[in-house]
Amino acid sequence: MDIMQFAIEGYKNINAKKYIGIFGNPIKHTLSPVIHDTISRELMVDERYIPFHITDGLGKAVKMAYKDSILGLNITVPYKQDVMEHLVDIDKAAKAIGAVNTLVRVDGGYKGYNTDMPGLAKAIFSEGIDLNDSKVIMLGAGGAARAVAYMCLNYGASQVYIVNRTYNNAKKIADDMNAEFGKVVIIPMAAASYKDIPMDKYIFIQCTSVGLHEGDGLPIIDDENFYDMAEYGVDLIYNPAKTPFLELLDKKGKKTINGLKMLLYQGIMAYELWNEVSVNEELIEKVYKALCHAIYGQQQDESQSVKEDNKNNIVLIGYMGAGKTAVGEALAKSYGYEFLDTDNYIVNKEGMSINDIFATKGEEYFRDLETKVVQELKNSLKNTVISTGGGLPIREENRKYLKDLGKVVYLKASPDTTYKRVSGNTERPLLAGDNMYDKICTMLKDRMPKYENASDIIIDTDNMSVVNIAKKIHDKIN
């Protein structure tokens, strides 16, 4: 497939019956695979989601994707407007908004849709907020604000104010929306004129990037009294979970929601368009939990606040050949975790292989390194799957550190299974020489009680695939 040349690393060699994906630049940290691969896995659909890094030649890339039978695509920055000229059809709402984020395969090419707008609406409705006959104050007049304005009007808002530092940007959105809906419903407000907005109760929707970075303050208007008019506060930002805007409204006792459910529902709607299926609420909840883990490292409570919890990490322990690295990588890729292998971490720090460390400095030196590493990591990692060396849990102090680090999962394998997996491997110094099977049996007999003592969860990996082991771990933790 020619289009795979644009796939980011880690996805180039994926094999599946059907492919969907996303075009963007940058694209490395997209969370969309968490949404779509979770749905496909739960529905048992052989379909994978591929992030494509497109730096130029957008039109050519769209044609290549169609030629290579890509079922559908998401489009993210900076291509939501530019992609429109490369489509065979565009949905009415996407035309009005002036941006497309979802391409659906049709005869001759792709049709463009915008699922951001209905995704945000669904997110707002899910929190019990009714847009019909509501009054809205929008903060910001960028690309996202245009979709928000259309959504508010489309779902029956009676009045929308746009507060923005650049008057002309706000006026352009107002003029376009008024032309679309045939009535004057938006009054653009320069920042200096915000006090002209009549005192009332409003849904505040924060559409700027203010709050993404540490040290950011309030968006556009820093007069805290202005926000007394908010009945609800909606921020399109989802990471951090609480921006200064949402924190202020929380203190004022207002109901607030961030942009995570917008991300969730726009993805759900795109998947439904591509596959002509309906994703039920139970599965939507599973996807939401997977997103929470990917972004925050744990579930959000009902108010969407993030709890401090060191169990957002998953620590994999077990004997050689238990599959810790393969399972850890599968968990990370499928469920949105980072991945770290303690053996590789040590190799990189020492600048030599584990065999060389054993040969030149001895096993005890290596065990001391393991203890230092787990001490170092236990307060610094978040939302990470950690694959540990087989001997790391032998020391009692290490078992305590592992519990501090995260949820400990013991990948258990029988001597026969272990032997099949490691025979022929010359990079395991403790199994070097003759009688490998006997060494495995002896070491497992000694280590198994220590593994069990260290673990929160035990998974028997005999006769299980890597994918199924990863799914079982995820299901047990969630």
3-state SS, residue 177: helix
| Burial group, residue 431, by CB count within 10 angstroms (0-12, 13-18, 19+) | buried
Residue type, 94: A
- DSSP H or E stretch at residue 410: strand 407-412
Nearest to 13 by CA among 5, 23, 22, 21: 5
Residue 217: both structure tokens together: 């303050």
What is the Cα–Cα distance from 163 to 138, expressed in whole angstroms?
A: 6
| Burial group, residue 459, by CB count within 10 angstroms (0-12, 13-18, 19+) | buried
Label residue 243 left, alpha or beta by phi (over 0 means left) and psi (-120 to 50 means alpha): beta
Which tens digit of pLDDT belongs to each residue from 187-218?
555 555 678 888 999 999 999 999 988 888 99
For residue 200, which phi and psi values (nearest 5 degrees)? -170, -175
What is the Cα–Cα distance from 473 to 40, expressed in whole angstroms?
A: 18
Residue type, 4: M
DSSP per residue over 179-206, as a string?
A: HHHSS--EEEEEGGGGGGSPSS-EEEEE
92 is annotated as an active-site residue: no
- Which residue positions in the chain have pLDDT lower than 50? 184-185, 298-310
- Is the omega angle on the peptide bond into residue 244 within 30 degrees of 0, that is, cis? no
Nearest to 14 by CA among 44, 46, 55: 46
Query: What does the pLDDT read at residue 102?
Result: 98
Degrees, nearest 5: CA angle 292-295-136: 80
Nearest to 74 by CA among 119, 147, 12, 21: 21
Number of H helices, E strands in the chain: 17, 17
**Which residues lie across from 300 on neighbouring strands?**
306
Q: Output the pTM of the full model.
A: 0.64
Degrees, nearest 5: CA angle 186-147-120: 110
3-state SS, residue 402: helix
- Would you say 383 and 337 are in contact if contact means Cβ atoms under 8 Å apart? yes
**Residue corresponding to tokens 């599946």:** 16
What is the Cα–Cα distance from 23 to 234, expressed in whole angstroms?
A: 27
Nearest to 300 by CA among 240, 341, 346, 254: 240
What is the Cα–Cα distance from 27 to 50, expressed in whole angstroms?
A: 10
3-state SS, residue 391: coil
**Which residues lie across from 338 on neighbouring strands?**
384
Using CA atoms of 235, 237, 241, 242 in order, give the dihedral in degrees to the nearest 10.
Answer: -50
DSSP per residue over 99-149, as a string?
A: ---EEEEETTEEEEE--HHHHHHHHHHHTT---TT-EEEEE--SHHHHHHH
What is the Cα–Cα distance from 304 to 126, expressed in whole angstroms?
A: 13
Give, in order, the Cα–Cα distances in Å from 119 to each of 84, 148, 184, 265.
20, 10, 25, 5
Nearest to 317 by CA among 379, 382, 428, 403: 403
Catalytic residue among 12, 28, 60, 80: 80
- Would you say 346 and 391 are in contact if contact means Cβ atoms under 8 Å apart? no
- Would you say 32 and 8 are in contact if contact means Cβ atoms under 8 Å apart? no
- Would you give the DSSP letter of residue 280? -
Using CA atoms of 118, 129, 137, 114 in order, give the dihedral in degrees to the nearest 10.
Answer: 0
What is the Cα–Cα distance from 338 to 358, expressed in whole angstroms?
A: 28
Which tens digit of pLDDT belongs to each residue from 153-197?
999 998 899 998 888 888 888 888 888 776 544 555 555 567 888
Residue 44: count of CB within 10 angstroms of its CB: 6
Residue 439: both structure tokens together: 């060494």
- Would you say 427 and 437 are in contact if contact means Cβ atoms under 8 Å apart? no
